[in-house]
Amino acid sequence: MEELNVLEEKPLRRPDWLKIQLKTGPNFTELKELMRGQTLHTVCEEARCPNIYECWENRTATFMILGDICTRACGFCAVKTGLPTELDLAEPERVAESVDAMGLRHAVVTAVARDDLQDHGASVFAETVRAIRHRRPQCTVEVLPSDMGGNEQALHTLLDAEPDIFNHNIETVRRLTPKVRAKATYDRTLEVLSRSKAYKPHIPTKSSLMLGHGETWEEIIQVMNDLRAVDCDIMTMGQYLQPTKKHLPVRKFWTPEEFAELKVEALKRGFKHVESGPLVRSSYHAHEQAQSAEQQIKQAK
């Protein structure tokens, strides 16, 4: 990341449509206490998601396993980076207990990148899915891993747990990938999504794109085409927001109208479900995404 240039740039003024009215209530407070009591991490908190209050009030949360220290230092991400020391094999059961206590219908399980582990944490992912299935079989489960270094056996280990949705984010356009993402590549992301669909064709795949790093309209359309070329089922698009001054600056704030137009373009290309808006994040309305994709897939059979 070009830190010197980032610090010298004057940040863009945040438009009115990105101003969030923070509201906390009993459900938010209860979930926060539950997370702390179970010693769990959520991407809602670690990534400073703008929808945390809405989602937690609606009893929806995304669990982040494998600790809270990532082995990668992506230019957009607020999660701590360094050399992880935590590998808690009891974590899957604690996540499952919390999912059950919260009465969730759909759980999203993501993780920091663990390039220090031989299987990149795939076995812990798989055990977490199985633990949730055992404790709350009516709950659908979505997984959101890193590219796991392109390790195909690790991918199979995770998919053998039969998650309901396999999510792997492309994050940005091809041209900007080296600047925005650490270690990950554009083609490897497409390969991971392709391999997932080839190995478990009945499991819907999903990917997310951040806007605001300097991409063009034509480049966004190309991402859509590339994702559909590997039969990706669900796409989400949202506005990148700079988490700290040390992270990449926002180059453009895309308007709600532009996001709406992009949703139309994505649906034209055959995605089974699309979420597109300034405050949309990968796991936003995840339960609705799962239901929509499942219905579309059933209708296509």
Q: Which residues are annotated as a binding site for [4Fe-4S] cluster?
A: 44, 49, 55, 70, 74, 77, 283
Decide: 170 and 209 in contact? Cβ < 8 Å: yes
Q: How many helices (H) and strands (E) does the chain have?
A: 12, 10
Length of the chain in terms of residues written: 301
Which residues, at least 6 apart from 199, have a Cβ–Cβ distance to it below 8 Å? Answer: 155, 156, 159
CA distance 1 to 179: 7
Residues 42 and 55 sit within 8 Å (Cβ to Cβ) = no
- Per the CB < 8 A criterion, the answer to whether 221 and 50 are in contact is no
Report the DSSP pairing between strands 41-42 and 69-70.
unpaired
- Report how far residue 166's alpha carbon sits from residue 159's, in angstroms, rounded to the nearest whole number: 8
Q: How many Cβ atoms from other residues are within 10 Å of residue 93's Cβ? A: 17
DSSP state of 182: S
How is 101-152 classified by DSSP, letter by letter? HHT-SEEEEEE---TTSTTTTHHHHHHHHHHHHHH-TTSEEEEE---GGG-H
For helices 186-199 and 217-229, give the axis angle rounded to 10 degrees: 30
Binding residues: 44, 49, 55, 70, 74, 77, 283
**DSSP assignment string, 233-276:** -EEEEEE----STTSPPP-----HHHHHHHHHHHHHTT-SEEEE
